[in-house]
């Protein structure tokens, strides 16, 4: 251990830190619980010697600040008696690791599909903001992400390897998440390889499987370095490649992947296919961008609904060959729901569903602030309404032309053929 | 030298209802190895092609075991080697099922008698139609390789001591429920391991139609395994054959019955030849 | 661990194998009755139950003689303040089952009966009454007239629900002359998806119901257990549906023989 319990160390400006305990250790460094001026923080200290470029980059990250709230960003630089590291906020207790989610840990599963998609949207939005600042992450992997299973809140850790795009501090990443050209050492990580890795993480979140791990597994006696290099670098074949079926998921082994792939909408499948097939050769144009992912994920979130019989979540199926008339899990009939059409958005108005700022403002990239929510009447639960969260009144017109004004925080009783004037430019229709 | 035997017979309940025999057994022998397998297709209505499923499972075992070049690890991690064998068997079975589905789609006539729920289950997972258990063993050099999934069992015999091999310890296989090749997580319930062949004089593979009437191990060992071994050691294969037929068609529980045996002729031959019935 | 037959080191065998045809048993079908003999059951109610059990025994013996596939084994758990096995017998062959009238008195500690049941529903090698190899889903009938003293029974139900043999067991709750919502709920929690609650008004009907349950339940075929689906969670279990239909038929057939109560 680099530091001892109760040891007192100091930041560059002399602020004292008292070491309380070791929180964890990895290949790169150790993380300690420390107290500073009565508050608790995490202090990461590197095990090995730190190169000058790395120190310079770390200081730059601290000076420029975090791109978004979702990043557990370095706050203060630390160098003391030959030890180098940084101070950051503590990770709150309600977050669990993404790795646990993927491994099926019961306590780490998202409350429902809606919350899961919310987390994915946060992930894409966060990486968009990171790239907008001119950075690339370069080491996207399941160990750096955390989730709150009840709210879908996201936390991104291990941000000390973030650096300017096209710059590289020697980090390559973890092979199973790396873009193939990086695995083959033809290129260093950058924003384009970040997009590839982002797609891998999204695939794991939505499908609980790895995009290049399928039947080819059986071709290898043991999964050694050579095998992994071939599967992920030399000749990666997407498990749902439209024409090359040589690496399909194995029925009886890739159980979750097979099930979940069936339940995701066609436009998400196409986005994965584009990134993992076309994106192998055209790294700059074919890989789905963060904006595109958000567009697809919001569409997905809009059409999720739950089965009243088995409580499974599935999609309405607007863009499938035909809408889901029965629940794909239990076979019982899909419930009758209203759909809100706003601009190009189609939102299934199931209980608990929300409408967001970006639905009402086509120039907004705020995918997470809700402006309305479907609720049920306390006295008569079969009556559903849309509870608004808007700063302005809305006007609702029924099929006879009769109009009614609702306060910005009012509840509109859901019925078909209503027209809702949300603001001067945005009108929605309920079908 | 290795001697081997396998026999499957239809059960009387199937004879009564006109259902096909859903068990399958097979043996294979060449200059390097001997392989035996017994598989039991499920009987409930939804498993409309489990007779084919059990045949495919036997085929998958034979093909997968034939592709094992050696069980000498040469430093390779044992678990990974065994996992590869499991994966190979599963993939081969999946491929045979897929091929059968492509060539013979599940038609309306095949499923019209099924409940709506069963029809829905088959639509979501057509492999379910082929549901089967799986038990296989191979002698390769000085090793005995065994694989098992679901009910039925593999039993080793050494100097008259009968021990279960790869026993399914999970309590989930109770009553008529069993893990199956059609289960969504089949891989995780396939047990595989290899042993030194000198640990056993012989190995017995049975489907549950053979085992269940004996209800517990001591009874099964004394009243089935050892008598059968004795008869085989004395070259009385026909007796064993006849008796399996009787067990299936008259005296058992009505289920299909399958038995496969491999034994080393040099191992304690006199011991078993001298054993006689009381 | 089950006993194994030992040889010794010399060449001569010391064991003698049985003839191959011997010792093949018929399938064992365990019928477990859980009988409430608390104070409220005194009088006509326990009388009905005693009469019914006498007849069940006779009934099962006759059925067995007609049935070449299955041997019935009976276990009766009586419970009031504590739970006991009737005659201290577990898994008694039905023709040997010696039934003595049950007397009623004490509290209604159903939870003790649940724990007794949990001990029974294990493989023989683990101390229960279920066979080590194979086996047929047991039939468990809970007969009660009133709500249990300890409630809710969450802890005990959790123990039972972890047992695979409980999950596959065909369970019926037979409510003797009651219309108490809480008791019906307790019975529903007990039977789950694998059975039904039957409100029963006389011993003849009770006997008929038990006959149907036993006959239908003895027909079972193999199925796969998947961890996603779980054992016994097949909500359209064919056997349970068959039983339900036949019992409904029985009850409606008998409706004319009920006394109509004036409101």
What is the DSSP track for A71-121?
B----EEEEETTEEEEEEPPPPTT-EEHHHHHTT-GGGS-SSHHHHHHHHH
Task: Tell which residue, B53, A114, B268, A19, has the closest CA to residue C9.
Answer: B268
Interface of A with B in 252-281 (CB under 8 A): 252-253, 255, 258-259
Mean pLDDT in residue range C98-127: 91
The domain in which residue C205 lies consists of: 27-220+233-257
- Which of A61-65, A226-230, B145-149, C167-171 reaches the highest mean pLDDT? B145-149
Q: What one-character DSSP code corresponds to residue B249?
A: I
Q: Which residue has the higher pLDDT, B174 or A147?
A: A147
pLDDT digits (tens, 9 = 90+) for A32-72: 999 999 999 999 999 888 889 899 999 999 999 999 999 99
Count CB atoms within 10 A of the CB of residue A92: 11
Is the pLDDT score of C263 beyond 60? Answer: no
Q: What one-character DSSP code corresponds to residue B224?
A: I
Alpha carbon separation from A409 to A367, A371, A412, A416, B244 (Å, rounded) = 20, 9, 10, 21, 78
Task: Tell which residue, C200, C193, C253, C197, has the closest CA to residue C229.
Answer: C193
State the smallest CA–CA distance between residue B158 and chain A in angstroms.
Answer: 32
Q: What is the pTM of this model?
A: 0.83
Q: Can you name the residues that pair with B148 across neighbouring β-strands?
A: B135, B191
CB contact under 8 A, A252 and B181: yes
Mean pLDDT in residue range A81-89: 91
Average pLDDT along chain C: 75
Rounded Cα distance between A7 and A138, Å, is 34
pLDDT of A238: 98
The model's confidence at residue C16, banded by pLDDT at 50, 70 and 90, is: low
Tokens 């409980």 appear where?
A: C166
Composition of chain A by helix, strand, coil, percent to 5: 30, 25, 45
Q: Can you name the residues that pair with A136 across neighbouring β-strands?
A: A163
Is position C5 within any domain?
no
State the smallest CA–CA distance between residue A402 and chain B in angstroms.
Answer: 46
Q: What one-character DSSP code corresponds to residue B251?
A: I
pLDDT digits (tens, 9 = 90+) for C236-249: 355 566 666 666 66
CB contact under 8 A, C224 and B178: yes
Mean pLDDT in residue range A263-284: 95
Alpha carbon separation from B239 to B230, B245, B272 (Å, rounded) = 11, 10, 16
CB contact under 8 A, C224 and B172: no
pLDDT digits (tens, 9 = 90+) for B189-233: 999 999 999 999 999 999 999 998 888 888 899 999 999 999 998
Q: What one-character DSSP code corresponds to residue A289?
A: P
State the smallest CA–CA distance between residue A243 and chain B in angstroms.
Answer: 17
For residue A292, give both structure tokens.
Answer: 């595109």
Is the pLDDT score of C3 beyond 60? Answer: no
Rounded Cα distance between C227 and A106, Å, is 14
pLDDT digits (tens, 9 = 90+) for B235-272: 899 999 999 999 898 888 888 999 999 998 876 667 77
Mean pLDDT in residue range C4-32: 61
Is position C226 within any domain?
no
Sequence-distant (6+) residues with CB within 8 A of A230 are A220
Count CB atoms within 10 A of the CB of residue C254: 14
Rounded Cα distance between A355 and A147, Å, is 22
Composition of chain B by helix, strand, coil, percent to 5: 45, 25, 30
pLDDT of B21: 95
CB contact under 8 A, B88 and A218: yes
The model's confidence at residue C211, banded by pLDDT at 50, 70 and 90, is: confident
Burial class (CB in 10 A: 0-12, 13-18, 19+), C99: middle
Q: Which of A52-66, A138-152, A170-184, C221-235 has the lowest mean pLDDT?
A: C221-235
By C-alpha distance, the chain B residue nearest C5 is: B161
Q: Any idea what the CATH number is for the domain that residue C207 is in? A: 3.40.50.410
Give yes or no for a contact between B61 and B89, defined as CB atoms under 8 angstroms apart: yes
pLDDT digits (tens, 9 = 90+) for B40-70: 999 888 999 999 999 999 999 999 999 998 8
By C-alpha distance, the chain B residue nearest A258 is: B184
pLDDT digits (tens, 9 = 90+) for A353-373: 999 999 999 888 889 899 999
Q: Can you name the residues that pair with C75 across neighbouring β-strands?
A: C32
Sequence-distant (6+) residues with CB within 8 A of A39 are none
The model's confidence at residue C224, banded by pLDDT at 50, 70 and 90, is: low
Strand, coil or helix: C16: coil
The model's confidence at residue C231, banded by pLDDT at 50, 70 and 90, is: very low
Task: Tell which residue, C124, C50, C121, C64, has the closest CA to residue C94.
Answer: C64
For chain B, how many helices (H) and strands (E)?
A: 10, 11
Is the pLDDT score of C230 beyond 50? Answer: no
Architecture of domain A336-430 in this structure: Sandwich (2.60)
Instruction: Sketch out chain B's domains with CATH numbers.
Output: 2-274 (3.60.40.10)
Q: A231-241 burial by CB neighbour count: b if 16+ within 10 A, else e? A: bbbeebbbbbb
pLDDT of C68: 57
- Give span(s): CATH 3.30.200.20, chain A: 8-88
Cα-Cα end-to-end distance for chain C = 62
Mean pLDDT in residue range A402-406: 92
pLDDT of C5: 31
pLDDT of B143: 95
Composition of chain C by helix, strand, coil, percent to 5: 40, 20, 40
Rounded Cα distance between C172 and C210, Å, is 9
The H or E element that residue A56 is part of is helix A52-64
Is position C6 within any domain?
no
Task: Tell which residue, C30, C31, C34, has the closest CA to residue C173.
Answer: C34
Is the pLDDT score of B163 beyond 70? Answer: yes
Q: Suggest the residue from B39, B209, B215, B261 to mutate for an interface test with chain C (most C CBs closer than 10 A).
A: B215
CATH 3.30.200.20 assigned to A8-88: yes
CB contact under 8 A, C224 and B271: no
3-state secondary structure A125-184: HHHHHHHHCCEECCCCCHHHEEECCCCCCEEECCHHHCEECCCCCCCCCCHHHCCHHHHC
Q: How many CB pairs under 8 A join A and B?
A: 51
Mean pLDDT in residue range B125-147: 95
Rounded Cα distance between C85 and C42, Å, is 19
Phi, psi torsion values for C20, nearest 5 degrees: -65, -30
pLDDT of A90: 93
Name all chains with 3 or more CB-CB pairs below 8 Å to chain A: B
User: What is the total count of domains within chain C?
Assistant: 1
CATH 1.10.510.10 assigned to A96-294: yes
Give yes or no for a contact between A22 and A31, defined as CB atoms under 8 angstroms apart: yes
3-state secondary structure C186-203: HHHHHHCCCEEEEEECCH
Q: What one-character DSSP code corresponds to residue B223?
A: I
Strand, coil or helix: C261: coil
The H or E element that residue B194 is part of is strand B191-196
Task: Tell which residue, A197, A190, A66, A205, has the closest CA to residue A130.
Answer: A66
Of B161, B176, B274, the CB nearest to C223: B176
Q: Suggest the residue from B63, B67, B74, B91 to mutate for an interface test with chain A (most A CBs closer than 10 A).
A: B91
Chain C residues with CB under 8 Å of B212 CB are 27, 131, 133-135
Give yes or no for a contact between A336 and A358, defined as CB atoms under 8 angstroms apart: no
Strand, coil or helix: A370: strand
Rounded Cα distance between B215 and A122, Å, is 58
The model's confidence at residue C200, banded by pLDDT at 50, 70 and 90, is: low
pLDDT of B70: 86
Peptide bond into C152 cis (omega under 30): yes
Q: B92-101 burial by CB neighbour count: b if 16+ within 10 A, else e? A: bbbebbeebe
CB contact under 8 A, B211 and C134: yes
Chain A residues with CB under 8 Å of B184 CB are 251-252, 255, 258-259
The model's confidence at residue C37, banded by pLDDT at 50, 70 and 90, is: very high
Q: What is the secondary structure of A224-235 as a DSSP string?
A: -HHHHHIIIIIS
For residue B184, give both structure tokens.
Answer: 């969504």
Is the pLDDT score of C54 beyond 90? Answer: no
């Amino acid at each position: 251990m680099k530091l001892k319990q109760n040891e007192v160390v100091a930041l560059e400006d002399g602020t004292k830190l008292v070491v309380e305990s070791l929180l964890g250790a990895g290949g790169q460094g150790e993380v300690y619980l420390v107290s500073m001026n009565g508050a608790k923080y995490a202090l990461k200290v590197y095990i090995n010697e730190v190169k000058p470029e790395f120190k310079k980059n770390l200081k730059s990250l601290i000076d420029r600040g975090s791109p978004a709230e979702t990043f557990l960003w370095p706050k203060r630089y630390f160098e003391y008696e030959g030890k180098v590291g940084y101070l950051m906020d503590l990770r709150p207790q309600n977050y669990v690791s993404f790795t646990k989610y993927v491994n099926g840990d019961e306590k780490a599963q998202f409350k429902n599909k809606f919350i899961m998609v919310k987390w994915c949207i946060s992930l894409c939005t966060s990486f968009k903001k990171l790239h907008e600042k001119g950075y690339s992450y370069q080491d996207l992997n399941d160990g750096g992400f955390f989730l709150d299973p009840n709210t879908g809140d996201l936390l991104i850790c291990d941000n000390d390897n973030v650096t300017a795009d096209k710059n590289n501090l020697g980090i390559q990443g973890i092979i199973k998440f790396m873009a193939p050209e990086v695995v083959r050492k033809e290129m260093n990580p950058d924003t384009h390889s970040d997009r590839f890795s982002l797609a891998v993480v999204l695939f794991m979140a939505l499908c609980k499987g790895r995009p290049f791990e399928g039947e080819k597994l059986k071709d290898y006696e043991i999964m050694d370095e050579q095998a992994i290099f071939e599967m992920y670098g030399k000749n990666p074949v997407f498990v749902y490649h439209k024409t090359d079926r040589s690496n399909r998921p194995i029925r009886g082994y890739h159980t979750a992947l097979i099930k979940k792939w069936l339940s995701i909408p066609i436009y998400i499948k196409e986005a994965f296919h584009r990134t993992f097939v076309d994106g192998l050769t055209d790294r700059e144009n074919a890989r789905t961008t963060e904006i595109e992912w958000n567009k697809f994920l919001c569409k997905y979130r809009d059409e999720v609904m739950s089965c009243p019989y088995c409580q499974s979540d599935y999609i309405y199926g607007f863009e499938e060959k035909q809408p889901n008339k029965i629940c794909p899990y239990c076979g019982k009939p899909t419930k009758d729901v209203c759909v809100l059409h706003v601009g190009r958005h189609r939102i299934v108005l199931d209980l608990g569903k929300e409408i967001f700022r970006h639905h009402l403002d086509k120039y907004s990239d705020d995918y997470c602030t809700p402006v309305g929510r479907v609720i049920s009447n306390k006295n008569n639960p079969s009556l559903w309404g849309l509870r608004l969260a808007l700063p302005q009144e809305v006007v609702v017109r029924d099929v006879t032309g009769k109009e009614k004004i609702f306060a910005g925080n009012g509840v509109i009783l859901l019925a078909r053929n209503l027209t809702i004037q949300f603001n001067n430019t945005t009108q929605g229709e309920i079908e | 030298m290795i001697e081997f035997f396998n026999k499957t017979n239809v059960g009387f309940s199937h004879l009564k209802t006109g259902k096909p025999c859903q068990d399958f057994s097979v043996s294979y022998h060449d200059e390097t190895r001997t392989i035996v397998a017994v598989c039991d297709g499920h009987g409930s209505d939804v498993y409309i092609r489990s007779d084919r499923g059990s045949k495919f499972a036997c085929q998958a075992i034979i093909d997968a075991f034939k592709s094992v070049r050696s069980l000498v690890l040469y430093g390779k991690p044992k678990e990974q080697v065994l996992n590869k064998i499991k994966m190979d068997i599963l993939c081969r079975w999946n491929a045979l099922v897929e091929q059968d589905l492509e060539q013979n789609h599940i038609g309306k006539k095949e499923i019209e008698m099924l409940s709506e729920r069963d029809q829905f289950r088959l639509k979501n997972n057509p492999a379910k139609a082929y549901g089967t258990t799986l038990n296989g063993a191979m002698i390769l050099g000085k090793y005995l390789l065994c694989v098992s999934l679901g009910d039925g069992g593999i039993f080793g015999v050494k100097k008259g001591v009968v021990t279960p091999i790869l026993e399914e310890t999970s309590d989930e296989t109770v009553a008529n429920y069993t893990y199956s090749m059609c289960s969504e997580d089949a891989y995780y319930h396939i047990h595989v391991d290899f042993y030194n062949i000198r640990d056993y004089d012989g190995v017995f593979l049975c489907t549950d139609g053979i085992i269940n009437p004996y209800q517990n191990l001591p009874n099964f060992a004394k009243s089935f395994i050892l008598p059968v071994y004795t008869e085989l050691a004395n070259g009385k294969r026909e007796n064993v054959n006849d008796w399996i037929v009787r067990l299936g068609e008259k005296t058992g529980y009505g289920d299909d019955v399958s038995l496969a045996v491999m034994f080393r002729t040099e191992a304690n031959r006199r011991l078993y030849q001298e054993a006689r019935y009381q | 661990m089950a006993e194994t037959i030992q040889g010794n080191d010399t060449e001569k065998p010391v064991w003698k194998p049985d003839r191959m045809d011997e010792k093949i048993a018929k399938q064992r079908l365990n019928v477990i009755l859980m009988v409430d003999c608390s104070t409220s059951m005194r009088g006509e109610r326990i009388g009905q139950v005693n009469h019914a059990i006498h007849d069940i025994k006779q009934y099962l013996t006759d059925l067995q003689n007609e049935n070449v596939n299955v041997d019935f084994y009976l276990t009766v758990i009586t419970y009031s303040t504590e739970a006991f096995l009737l005659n201290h017998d577990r898994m008694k062959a039905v023709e040997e089952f010696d039934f003595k009238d049950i007397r009623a008195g004490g509290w209604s500690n159903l939870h003790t009966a649940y724990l007794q049941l949990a001990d029974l529903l294990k493989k023989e090698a683990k101390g229960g009454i279920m066979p080590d190899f194979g086996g047929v889903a047991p039939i468990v009938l809970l007969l009660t007239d009133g709500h249990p003293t300890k409630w809710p029974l969450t802890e005990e139900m959790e123990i039972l629900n972890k047992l695979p043999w409980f999950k596959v067991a065909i369970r019926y709750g037979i409510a003797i002359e009651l219309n108490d919502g809480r008791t019906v709920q307790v019975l529903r929690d007990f039977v789950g998806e694998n059975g039904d609650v039957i409100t029963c008004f006389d011993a003849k009907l009770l006997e008929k119901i038990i006959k149907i349950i036993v006959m239908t339940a003895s027909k079972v075929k193999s199925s796969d257990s998947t961890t996603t689906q779980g054992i016994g969670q097949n909500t359209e279990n064919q056997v349970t549906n068959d039983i339900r239909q036949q019992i409904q038929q029985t009850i409606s057939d008998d409706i004319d023989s009920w006394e109509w109560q004036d409101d």
